[in-house]
Structure 1
Amino acid sequence: MESVSIEPGESQADFIRNELNFDVDPEDSMTKAALSDHHKDECIDLLGNGQLKKTVLKKGENGTRPSRGDICTLKLTGKLENGTIVEEKEKLVIQLGDVEVIQGLDLAIALMDIGEIAKVEVASRFAYGSLGNKPNIPSDANIIYTVELKNVEPETDIETLSVSQRKEIGNKKRENGNWWFNRDEAALAIQCYRRALEFLQPSNTNSSDNLVDEIVTDAELQALLIDRINVSNNLAAAQMKIEAYDAALKSIESVLTHQPTNVKALFRKGKILHRKGEHTLAYTTLLYASKLDPKTKAIQQELAILKEKNAKDAQHEKDLYRKMLGAPKAKNIASNNVRKDNTKKNKNNLIWTLVGGVTAAALGALVYKFSS
């Protein structure tokens, strides 16, 4: 194969755009940082807004930056701006790009070489935000890390992993997703849950790439399925948070396919249908969940809301049918009946007034006749 090299006077951005047919913005701060070498003591503003800065303290081996999905071994120390140490890891193993560390570190590590030691200054937004991280990282804290990238290994092909290995990695990613979800970072939680599902699928035993020669028992496959169901349920909850209701419904259906009486999944399905405006179907779903678990107050509360909405929907449909048929609304009919009653009363009053007047006139005539 003929090698392709950068021509004299051609930038790396030009090379990527022209030869690799991949468009890049050479003025983007992150692109500049990714395409350039970082010299010792040079402070690089990775995002261009001062919220994530990297300074090389010790140069690493050139050309050894990790790729997304690589397994990175780190040594790191994190300090607050007053110098208080709040994080210290002698050997931290992460999968790059799977947000197994805070976002600022995930971005900065991708721009380090093996053996490099760097100072990474992370603003609160890309660290632990307004929640902090109890017990020692307060709210809205900027953190200054000293990071050493000790080793990088390529991602292992999932098909080469045993069931127990896939189960361990998948559940680690699920727990990481739960951590982000509890911090109200639904998008990051979704990313973790989706990665977890990739590992929790049973291996393709018919694949020529499957290098694991193992006998998988039914019990192991059942345990893997239960883990996958739990992740799908959590994924749906995170998707609901960002109002991705169609995706959430798909995740829930994958749970109910295997566990049609899963109350948590039925409750979430009912809420999703409610949000999508499918009130009747939502009510039916929640009613079934209520029969399975009549003590859960959240289900009863949702049912009460839907009962009222279904009544309004039914009345609205009746009004539409009346309008289509040219008939007045029930409210108008009632008003017309009241008006008719009032007219009838007024007519009766008029008749009795006339009768009274005639009677009075006749009596008057009789009195005049006999008195004269």
Structure 2
Amino acid sequence: MIFFSDARDVVSGIPPNTTLTIDLELVSLMHVVDVSGDLMVLKKIMKKGEEGSSRPEDGLSVWIKSTGKLEDGTIFDRFGFDVDGGFQFILGEEQVITGLDIAVATMAKGEVSLLTIKPQYGYGENEFRGNLATVPSHSTLIFEIEMIDFIKGKEPWTMNLQERLQAIEALKECGNSLFKTQKFERALKKYTKVLQSANRPLP
């Protein structure tokens, strides 16, 4: 029940001091997930992915469709809609903003999610020129992402020596780049993978 104690009309046609009874129906309930662990990247699942689908790991090629908006609704970027299979990038290789890297790693194939990314995990203090509009510095970003597909790469123990060395070098360079930008936790994960790969016996 809602009781209006104000002597004025709160809603046209409703006398003051009227007790109202309102019937509400919950149409849907969407759970918001803190995927970054610090409330800087939030994910709301709009459509669940394939049942039993795994999640992509760093180093895998992923294909997505994405629409990026500002908080006022301005669309600044759309990608993956004009090419077959969606927009492709390698997860965890700093090819997209950190917020997208983190969130996409939690998505199943076929999943559609709405992301809210704070500036610290977006473009920060930098201005960004999107395909459709400019993102001002210190902007919170809203992305609608559809996970189209991802492909698991070769496991280290299946690689020959040359492939193993190339993979290790790529991981090391990525780790160095992350370290230079003070993303120490993500850099440590890359260096750990370097050690794990180097210590595995060749096939």
Provide the TM-score with structure 2 as the length reference.
Answer: 0.59
Give, in whole Å, the separation in 1 of the partners of 2:193 and 2:170: 10
- What does residue 109 of structure 1 align with? 104
Please tell me whether residue 90 in structure 1 is matched to residue 94 in structure 2: no
- What does residue 168 of structure 1 align with? 166
Which residue identity is paired with 2:187?
A
Does the C-alpha gap of structure 1 residues 187 and 53 become closer, same or farther in structure 2, counting only changes over 3 Å? closer
- What does residue 159 of structure 1 align with? 157
- What does residue 34 of structure 2 align with? 46
**Structure 1 SS opposite 2:167:** helix
Residue by residue over 1:245-285, the C-alpha shift from the partner in whole angstroms, topping out at 9 and shown as x without a partner, is xxxxxxxxxxxxxxxxxxxxxxxxxxxxxxxxxxxxxxxxx
Q: Report if the CA contact (8 A) 1:72-1:93 is conserved.
A: yes
- What does residue 119 of structure 2 align with? 124
Give, in whole Å, the separation in 2 of the partners of 1:188 and 1:165: 23
Report deviation, 1:126: 2.7
Does the C-alpha gap of structure 1 residues 159 and 92 become closer, same or farther in structure 2, counting only changes over 3 Å? same
Please tell me whether residue 59 in structure 1 is matched to residue 51 in structure 2: no
Residue by residue over 1:156-215, the C-alpha shift from the partner in whole angstroms, topping out at 9 and shown as x without a partner, is 33121123322333233233223323323233323323323444x37624xxxx2xxxxx
Which structure 1 residue ranges, 4+ long, deviate > 4 Å from structure 2? 47-50, 67-70, 86-89, 98-103, 133-138
Give, in whole Å, the separation in 1 of the partners of 2:120 and 2:170: 24
Root mean square deviation of aligned Cα = 3.7
Which residue identity is paired with 1:55?
K
2:64 to 60, 75, 81: 75
1:2-13 matches, cutoff 5 A: none
- What does residue 201 of structure 2 align with? 204
- What does residue 7 of structure 2 align with? none
Report deviation, 1:64: 0.9
Report deviation, 1:142: 2.1
Structure with larger Rg? 1
Which residue identity is paired with 1:46?
D
Give, in whole Å, the separation in 2 of the partners of 1:70 and 1:186: 18
Structure 2 unmatched runs, 5+: 1-27, 81-85
Q: Report if the CA contact (8 A) 1:73-1:151 is conserved.
A: yes
Structure 1 unmatched runs, 5+: 1-39, 211-372
Which residue identity is paired with 1:194?
T
Q: How many residues get paired?
A: 163
Give, in whole Å, the separation in 2 of the partners of 1:183 and 1:78: 27
**Structure 1 SS opposite 2:75:** coil
Q: Report if the CA contact (8 A) 1:57-1:118 is conserved.
A: yes
Does the C-alpha gap of structure 1 residues 189 and 128 become closer, same or farther in structure 2, counting only changes over 3 Å? farther
- What does residue 148 of structure 2 align with? 150
Higher helix share: 1
Q: Report if the CA contact (8 A) 1:70-1:153 is conserved.
A: no
Residue by residue over 1:306-326, the C-alpha shift from the partner in whole angstroms, topping out at 9 and shown as x without a partner, is xxxxxxxxxxxxxxxxxxxxx
Report deviation, 1:57: 3.9
Report deviation, 1:90: 1.3
1:240-255 matches, cutoff 5 A: none
Which residue identity is paired with 2:62?
T
Give, in whole Å, the separation in 2 of the partners of 1:139 and 1:193: 32
Residue by residue over 1:205-238, the C-alpha shift from the partner in whole angstroms, topping out at 9 and shown as x without a partner, is 4xxxx2xxxxxxxxxxxxxxxxxxxxxxxxxxxx
Q: Report if the CA contact (8 A) 1:72-1:152 is conserved.
A: yes
Give, in whole Å, the separation in 1 of the partners of 2:192 and 2:40: 28
Give, in whole Å, the separation in 1 of the partners of 2:123 and 2:138: 7
Report deviation, 1:44: 1.4
Does the C-alpha gap of structure 1 residues 84 and 101 become closer, same or farther in structure 2, counting only changes over 3 Å? closer
**Structure 2 SS opposite 1:84:** strand
Give, in whole Å, the separation in 2 of the partners of 1:118 and 1:181: 30
Does the C-alpha gap of structure 1 residues 172 and 160 become closer, same or farther in structure 2, counting only changes over 3 Å? same
Report deviation, 1:114: 0.9
Larger RCO: 1 or 2 (CA < 8 Å, sep 6+): 2
